């Protein structure tokens, strides 16, 4: 009689539930590179953080930190785990925050001050007209955006591109040309060489950035290199330099999207046709995985619509 052999399935030893407190402690210590700093964030003692990290290392069977006399350094295994946990805990915190007010549809947008004041704010009423139930919060800054921990949904940045770890989409080019108040234009400002009789307004954001036109570059390209390009005050942002131009204090280099509304309303004029291409542009930046969010998609569609209309 032929015996029947039953195929044995491999026995998988169940893993105990993940120690969440230990994972939190490790993530904080890895981010801060310090048990003491992590303890301050978690409102526990450094010894408690160290104990939780040791518990996690025992649970995983790997060493996560190399401990020195007064320092800690992540191992390769620690680096890999920290990268994943940072995003996972950030998403968890964001989900918990949104769960406390599920009915409040809102969108947090981060952008630079000049874009917020000169392009976004004058147009935002049209978005509210199309999406009246969606509240938009505009935050300004030019620093790196932490989409997960910062709770930012969309960022709009002025830069050269090449953003890593995110989804970046070119929104608008940013050609550069002189602008001034209507009171300065006219018979006394008909050719680029006439700029030698006017105050030049500079913004330091163009300084030292290859491919971003400044006054020396524009004057050289327009055949007016004899004009002293160093004259005039320097402002910390494009926005301030352009506001000084609106006030009639001199001639600024305008970035096309940022002066469009002032040109349309007659607060600024463009005395010359000559403009320079700019390696910097305006970009829509989102975290990977946010491309199917209907709220974010609606706002990005509106941005594209406004950019194409402009």
Domains, in order of start, for the chain: 20-99 (1.10.10.10), 106-167+281-309 (3.40.190.10), 176-265 (3.40.190.10)
Cα separation, 137 vs 51, in Å, equals 41
In sequence order, what are the beta bridge partners of 136? 107
Q: pLDDT tens-digit profile of 120-171?
A: 998 998 998 888 888 898 988 877 777 766 778 899 999 999 888 888 999 9
Q: What is the DSSP letter of 215?
A: H
Q: pLDDT tens-digit profile of 15-69?
A: 567 788 888 889 888 888 888 888 888 888 989 999 999 999 998 889 999 988 7
Residue 126: count of CB within 10 angstroms of its CB: 13
Tell me the Cα Rg of the chain: 28
- Specify the pLDDT at position 1: 46
Which residue in the block uniquely carries the two structure tokens 């942002």?
237
């Amino acid at each position: 009689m032929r015996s029947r052999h039953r195929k044995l399935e491999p026995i998988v030893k169940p893993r105990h539930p993940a120690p969440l407190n230990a994972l939190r402690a490790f993530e904080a210590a890895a981010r801060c590179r310090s048990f003491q700093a992590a303890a301050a964030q978690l409102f526990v003692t450094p010894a408690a953080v160290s104990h939780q990290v040791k518990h996690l290392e025992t649970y995983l069977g790997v060493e996560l930190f190399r401990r020195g006399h007064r320092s800690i350094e992540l191992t390769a295994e620690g680096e890999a785990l920290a990268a994943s946990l940072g995003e996972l805990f950030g998403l968890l915190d964001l989900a918990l925050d949104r769960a406390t007010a599920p009915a409040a549809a809102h969108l947090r947008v981060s952008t630079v001050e000049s874009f917020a004041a000169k392009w976004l704010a004058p147009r935002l009423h049209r978005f509210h007209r199309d999406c009246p139930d969606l509240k938009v919060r505009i935050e300004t800054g030019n620093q790196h955006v932490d989409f997960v921990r910062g709770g930012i949904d969309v960022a709009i940045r002025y830069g050269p591109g090449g953003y890593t770890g995110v989804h970046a989409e070119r929104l608008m080019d940013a050609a550069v040309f002189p602008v001034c108040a209507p009171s300065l234009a006219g018979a006394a400002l008909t050719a680029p060489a006439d700029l030698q009789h006017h105050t030049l307004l500079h913004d330091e954001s163009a300084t030292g950035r290859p491919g971003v036109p400044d006054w020396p570059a524009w004057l050289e390209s327009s055949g007016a290199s004899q004009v002293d390009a160093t004259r005039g005050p320097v402002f910390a942002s494009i926005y301030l330099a352009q506001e000084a131009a609106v006030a009639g204090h001199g001639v600024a280099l305008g970035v096309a999207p940022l002066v469009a509304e002032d040109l349309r309303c007659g607060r600024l004029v463009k005395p010359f046709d000559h403009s320079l291409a700019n390696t910097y542009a305006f970009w829509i930046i989102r975290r990977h995985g946010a491309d199917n969010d209907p709220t974010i998609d609606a706002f990005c569609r509106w941005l594209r619509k406004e950019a194409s209309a402009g």
